[in-house]
Chain A
Amino acid sequence: MAHSPAIAMPKGRGAYRVLVQRKKLVLLALAVVLVLSVIADLGLGPARYSMREVVMALMGSPEVTEQVSVVIWDIRMPVALMAVVVGAALSAAGAQMQTILNNPLASPFTLGISAAASFGASVALVFGVGFLPWAIDYIVSINALLMAMAAALFIHFMSQKRGVTVETIVLLGITLVFTFNALLALVQYLASEQALSAVVFWTMGSLTRATWPKLAITTAVVVISLPLFMRRAWALTALRLGDDKAASFGVNVRWVRLETMMVISLLAAVPVAFVGTIGFIGLVGPHIARMLVGEDQRYFLPASVLSGAAILSLTSVISKSIVPGTIFPIGIITALVGVPFLFSLIMSTRRRAW
């Protein structure tokens, strides 16, 4: 029994446990970055507060003035937290889209779901403005949501057809982007000047639209969706080995795809409905997560959520820092900052994701 399996075995198990510990540490590090970023975000604005002041205000310390407390809690907090949940939602949506469509290019933005939501919202902004002014926030959001879901369903059902490849789905997504952009342009063409500026500003994406109720709804969507994904973690990871293999492991591939797609459309649409189109988070977040922890969904999904949240929060910090006193629409910054960041990661990493 000199070469008995018992001697070699602990190596594999032990090494695996070390790997898992390392992944958990990465998640912890991402969480720390996120918390620091949120604190920085709260301190920045027309009036700048130090980190110490922010933390004291958060803890309800009597040392900070009421003015500081009001600014941080009532004005900046919803915006800062909105960055976190929107980043988390878009990144989770992108991660699962890349998983179920088996495509690194998939994201709510590249597959036309964001464009569909923009179109839905613009219809409400342009034609709905006069009718129900008291509910305008929600008409815009509901329209955006419905269009996003329709687009997601369309992509899902097309991807189920026989002979449809991953490339076809990406092409299909691109056609959706063009279609909805054209429709959006049409609506803008027909819009009054006032409505037009609302639409243009809306499509830029801005977190300053955040309010507590919107934040609550978005948070609820994220909180409900993530456990649904986690429950399917093993099945979703198996999809990455190919449909045949997943099915041979007993995964109901069709059903898992449909269920996941529905949750994705909710996750992708709600943030877009509330804060406008914010691109690239859905693409960048999952890629960073994949490079850091790989594609075991038990770690990949939390890592995507945390990195998406951290990136959007950091972007919010940057959008306030470029010109002190001015807040740039965050949708502009995400692409400008996110892309070079992703690019440098892709070029520097040895562990190439795709």
Chain B
Amino acid sequence: MVTTLQLNEVGVRYGKQEVLSGVTTPVLKGGEVTAVIGPNAAGKSSLFRRIAGLLDGPGSIRIDDVALRPGPSPVCYMPQDTSVNTVLTVYESVLLARKQGAPRKVTDEDLQEVDRVLFSLRIEPIAFKGLNELSGGQRQLVSLAQVLVREPKILLLDEPTSALDLHRQVEVLALIRSLARDRGICVVLAIHDLNQVLRVADRVMVIDAGTMVSCGPVETVITPTLLQTIYRVDGRIERCSRLCPHVIIDGPLEAA
């Protein structure tokens, strides 16, 4: 059965203040990658935290057509990078991510899965480095390993490539893309680079000022109008010599 995720009038409240409201999506299916874009502080992270069950709010979140209830959830969420100061090795931190809510004893299967994930992200050379010795990019890869090792059905990634170099960005996004397809994972990721969105995503959701502005296939949503209204920049979407669409920015929108 294909995993599905659907949001209906989902919002987030901090106390009385509403930071996000009325997010309704079509059915997002396993195997698809949905990119969430929008300016800083638009409410993207709040939306992710709401779907992951870390925040309360109105609306309903349906997974496999069943309303999400508090408690263990099939959603794996990778928060934005935070530096940690803990004496754990990369290997231990990935293993512990896998052992949450699982039987206490470490099995051979657990260790195999950790090895497999570290290898797929090509971070096995740093497996026995301390978390506090890593660079920002390495930390991000480790965070990604921590969610992948949990064998998610629904994967929420909050800016998973923000600290990575170009090679790693391309590599990680390709990995996410292929994981979604091969394992039928429903991936939702927040990302700022619109050209990467064009390459990797099936669908794009635009969040601005606490509401969902649009949601649909990538090429119908990412338009010069979007660049102007959401990002206040002048730009074009043009096809390159290989006919792939690219976002070209001409400059900031002149104040009227």
Residues of A within 8 A of B (CB): 5, 8-13, 15-16, 19, 231, 233-235, 237-238, 240-242, 244-245, 247-251, 290-291, 294-296, 351, 353-354
Q: Chain A contact residues: over half helix, strand or loop, or mixed?
A: helix
Q: A294: which of B79, B92, B114 is its contact (CB, 8 Å)?
A: B92
CB distance from A26 to the nearest CB of B (A): 13
CB distance from B178 to the nearest CB of A (A): 15
Known: A234-B96, A238-B97, A242-B82. A247 touches B87 (CB 8 A): no
A241 to B146, CA, bound (A): 11
B88 in contact with A248 (CB, 8 Å): no
Contact bitstring B56-99, A, C-beta under 8 A = 1, else 0: 00000000000000001100111100101111110111011101
A240 in contact with B84 (CB, 8 Å): yes
A237 to B124, CA, bound (A): 21
CB distance from B174 to the nearest CB of A (A): 17
Interface size class of B (residues with CB under 8 A): 35 or more
A12 in contact with B54 (CB, 8 Å): no
A249 to B85, CA, bound (A): 19
Known: A8-B119, A248-B52, A290-B87. A15 touches B73 (CB 8 A): no
Q: A248: which of B78, B87, B111, B115 is its contact (CB, 8 Å)?
A: B78
B100 in contact with A15 (CB, 8 Å): no
CB distance from B96 to the nearest CB of A (A): 5
B112 in contact with A248 (CB, 8 Å): no
* In the complex, B101 has a CB within 8 A of chain A: yes
Q: A250: which of B78, B95, B100, B115 is its contact (CB, 8 Å)?
A: B100
A241 to B142, CA, bound (A): 12
B89 in contact with A237 (CB, 8 Å): no
A240 in contact with B104 (CB, 8 Å): no
Residues of B within 8 A of A (CB): 49, 52, 54, 72-73, 76-79, 82, 84-89, 91-93, 95-97, 99-102, 104, 108, 111-112, 114-116, 118-120, 124, 127-128, 130-131, 143, 146-147, 150
A15 in contact with B128 (CB, 8 Å): yes
| Interface CB pairs A-B, < 8 A, 14 | A9-B119, A10-B115, A13-B112, A16-B95, A231-B104, A234-B104, A238-B100, A241-B146, A245-B82, A248-B54, A248-B77, A295-B86, A296-B96, A354-B85
Chain B residues with CB under 8 Å of A15's CB are 91, 127-128
A11 to B85, CA, bound (A): 26
A238 in contact with B101 (CB, 8 Å): no
A273 to B88, CA, bound (A): 35
Chain B residues with CB under 8 Å of A10's CB are 115
B54 in contact with A244 (CB, 8 Å): yes
Question: Looking across the interface, which residue of chain B has its beta carbon closest to that of A295?
Answer: B87
A77 to B12, CA, bound (A): 60
A240 in contact with B86 (CB, 8 Å): yes
Known: A15-B127, A250-B101, A351-B130. A245 touches B146 (CB 8 A): yes
A296 to B92, CA, bound (A): 7
Chain B residues with CB under 8 Å of A250's CB are 72-73, 100-101
CB distance from B159 to the nearest CB of A (A): 13
Chain B residues with CB under 8 Å of A251's CB are 100
Chain B residues with CB under 8 Å of A353's CB are 87
Chain B residues with CB under 8 Å of A238's CB are 96-97, 100
A242 in contact with B99 (CB, 8 Å): no
B88 in contact with A295 (CB, 8 Å): yes
CB distance from B119 to the nearest CB of A (A): 5
Chain B residues with CB under 8 Å of A234's CB are 96, 99-100, 102, 104
Chain A residues with CB under 8 Å of B112's CB are 9, 13
Chain A residues with CB under 8 Å of B127's CB are 12, 15-16
A294 in contact with B100 (CB, 8 Å): no
B89 in contact with A248 (CB, 8 Å): no
A244 in contact with B86 (CB, 8 Å): no
Q: A244-B49, A249-B97 are in contact. List 4 more A-B contacts (CB 8 A).
A: A13-B108, A13-B111, A242-B84, A244-B54
CB distance from B157 to the nearest CB of A (A): 11
A242 to B100, CA, bound (A): 14
CB distance from A293 to the nearest CB of B (A): 9
Q: A241: which of B84, B114, B115, B150 is its contact (CB, 8 Å)?
A: B84
A248 in contact with B79 (CB, 8 Å): yes
A294 in contact with B89 (CB, 8 Å): yes
7 closest cross-chain pairs (CB), A and B: A249-B100, A248-B77, A240-B86, A12-B115, A9-B115, A244-B79, A13-B111
B130 in contact with A5 (CB, 8 Å): no
B88 in contact with A240 (CB, 8 Å): yes
Chain A residues with CB under 8 Å of B77's CB are 248
Known: A248-B54, A248-B76, A296-B96. A9 touches B116 (CB 8 A): yes
A214 to B92, CA, bound (A): 39
Question: Looking across the interface, which residue of chain B has its beta carbon closest to that of A5?
Answer: B119
A13 in contact with B115 (CB, 8 Å): yes
A112 to B96, CA, bound (A): 32
CB distance from B104 to the nearest CB of A (A): 7
CB distance from A207 to the nearest CB of B (A): 31
A305 to B87, CA, bound (A): 18
Chain A residues with CB under 8 Å of B120's CB are 5
CB distance from A238 to the nearest CB of B (A): 6
Q: B116: which of A5, A16, A296 is its contact (CB, 8 Å)?
A: A5
A11 to B91, CA, bound (A): 12
CB distance from A254 to the nearest CB of B (A): 11
Question: Looking across the interface, which residue of chain B has its beta carbon closest to that of A251?
Answer: B100
A233 to B101, CA, bound (A): 11
